[in-house]
């Protein structure tokens, strides 16, 4: 189980008020968020459309938080440079988004950004095992990607634990993130299983007091 000091909270902008995004980003930084999680959806890889690099670029000026860009788009390769230029600090993508995951991760690193691999609930840990040397982060989806506000899929806790063991055995500095249905209650199980970065949309932006919501998850 990672020490409490290593737990980082990454609120997902998907649950923010889209009519006031600049304000929302400033508010979440002031409330103690560690990263800002930005969900990019194309209506093809996932059945929903969110926003693109233009919005990431506009928000970059509003915040000093690390921008954690979660690509749910296929193909992803043609857009990696655009998200890097827009101000992403970390770019993560799904193995299913293209035929050459290793090359995509190399591209992200060559753009000077941190790289992550995202595993859908049905995607096994083996999908990331042979590219761990190119990963700064592994993200376990605890819902099927596409929408905020879904219920946490408990079967993913065993996957988090397996990845924690794999990362520790590798001796590499790789963050282990979980995304989907994270609340103050499910956060405890995620941390116990070995996660050290928690994404939360509804459980933060859906609450009236962002600082209290972040504290509640961190306190888990």
Tell me the C-alpha distance between 196 and 43, whole Å. Answer: 29
Concerning whether 179 is annotated as a catalytic residue, the answer is yes
42 vs 179, which CB is nearer to Zn ion?
179
Counting contacts by CB under 6 A, is residue 50 touching ligand DX5?
A: no
Q: Which two tokens stand for residue 138?
A: 């592994």
Counting contacts by CB under 6 A, is residue 39 touching ligand DX5?
A: yes
Contact 197, 183 (CB under 8 A): no
The residue count for the chain: 220
Stretch that binds ligand DX5, among 8-16, 28-36, 122-130, 184-192 (CB under 6 A): 8-16
Counting contacts by CB under 5 A, is residue 189 touching Zn ion?
A: no
182 vs 193, which CB is nearer to ligand DX5?
182
176 vs 199, which CB is nearer to ligand DX5?
199
Counting contacts by CB under 5 A, is residue 68 touching Zn ion?
A: no
Q: Which entry of ligand DX5, Zn ion, none binds 182, CB below 5 to 8 A by partner kind? A: ligand DX5
Concerning whether 133 is annotated as a catalytic residue, the answer is no
Helices (H), ranges, the chain:
21-30, 53-60, 80-86, 101-110, 126-129, 156-170, 184-193, 202-205, 210-218
Counting contacts by CB under 6 A, is residue 123 touching ligand DX5?
A: no
Tell me the C-alpha distance between 16 and 37, whole Å. Answer: 11
Backbone angles phi, psi at 200, to 5 degrees: -145, 125
Q: Which residues are catalytic?
A: 39, 179
């Amino acid at each position: 189980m990672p020490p409490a000091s290593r737990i980082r909270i990454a609120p997902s902008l998907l649950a923010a008020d889209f009519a006031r995004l600049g304000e929302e980003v400033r508010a979440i930084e002031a409330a103690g968020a560690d990263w800002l999680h930005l969900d990019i959806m194309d209506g093809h890889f996932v059945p929903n459309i969110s926003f693109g690099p233009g919005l990431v670029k506009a928000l970059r000026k509003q915040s000093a938080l690390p921008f954690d860009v979660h690509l749910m788009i296929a193909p992803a390769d043609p857009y990696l440079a655009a998200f890097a230029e827009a101000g992403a600090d970390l770019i993560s993508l799904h193995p299913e988004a293209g035929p050459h995951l290793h090359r995509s991760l190399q591209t992200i690193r060559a753009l000077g950004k941190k790289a992550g691999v995202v595993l859908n609930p049905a995607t096994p840990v083996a999908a990331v095992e042979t590219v761990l040397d190119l990963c700064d982060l592994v993200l376990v989806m605890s819902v099927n990607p596409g929408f905020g506000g879904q219920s946490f899929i408990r079967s993913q806790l065993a996957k988090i634990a397996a990845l924690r063991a794999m990362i520790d055995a590798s001796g590499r500095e790789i963050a282990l993130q979980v995304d989907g249905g994270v609340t103050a209650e499910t956060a405890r199980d995620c941390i116990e299983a070995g996660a050290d970065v928690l994404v939360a949309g509804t459980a933060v932006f859906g609450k009236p007091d962002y600082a209290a919501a972040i504290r509640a998850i961190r306190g888990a």
